């Protein structure tokens, strides 16, 4: 099932306090690409992947969008369904969603429009080999 809005509000709400892996505290709207990269570096077992948006479609679930990514060096195809207000962090750009207006309305979080070709930050488990 898709991720529902009820899972979203608190940590994407403007002003939400985020703890980086270094222990540093930042507001969600102040996060920068380097904060995620550095956090992954000091986290055991997690790695940052570059996930490029290759397609954005309407979902079969009303009120959702289906996002298609190619992920990491392997260029694996991964699809997820999210509400259009769900923010993703785009490298060098910051928070972006399919519906920046709705994100601003619900979370007061300033967002760019997420587009095909954007490279988002995602995480996966670090390979043990």
Site string for another protein, 36-75 (x = CB under 8 A): x--x---x--x--x-x-----------------x-xx-x-
Tell the residue number behind the tokens 């954005």, with chain if given.
56
Tell the residue number behind the tokens 């055991």, with chain if given.
44
Beta strands 94-97 and 112-113 are parallel
Interface region with another protein, contact rule CB under 8 A, candidates 10-18, 53-61, 97-105, 110-118: 10-18
Nearer to another protein, 18 or 104 (CB): 18
Closest alpha carbon to 56 in 94, 76, 92, 82: 82
**Spatial distance between the Cα atoms of 28 and 6, rounded to a whole number of angstroms:** 18
Does residue 127 bind another protein (CB under 8 A)? no
| Coil, strand or helix at 31 | coil
Binding site for another protein (CB under 8 A): 10-12, 16-21, 25, 28, 31, 35-36, 39, 43, 46, 49, 51, 69, 71-72, 74, 76-78, 80, 88-89, 120-125
């Amino acid at each position: 099932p898709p991720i529902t809005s009820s899972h979203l509000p608190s940590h994407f709400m403007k002003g939400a306090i985020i703890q980086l892996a270094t222990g540093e505290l930042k507001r969600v709207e102040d996060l920068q690409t380097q904060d995620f990269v550095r956090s992954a570096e000091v986290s055991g077992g997690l790695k940052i992947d570059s996930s490029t948006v290759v397609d954005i479609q309407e979902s079969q679930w009303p009120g959702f969008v289906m996002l298609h990514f190619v992920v990491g060096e392997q260029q694996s195809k991964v699809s997820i369904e999210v509400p259009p207000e769900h923010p993703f962090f785009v490298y060098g750009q910051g928070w972006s969603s399919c519906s920046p207006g709705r994100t601003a309305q619900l979370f007061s979080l300033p967002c760019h429009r997420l587009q095909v070709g954007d490279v988002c930050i995602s995480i996966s488990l670090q390979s043990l080999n």
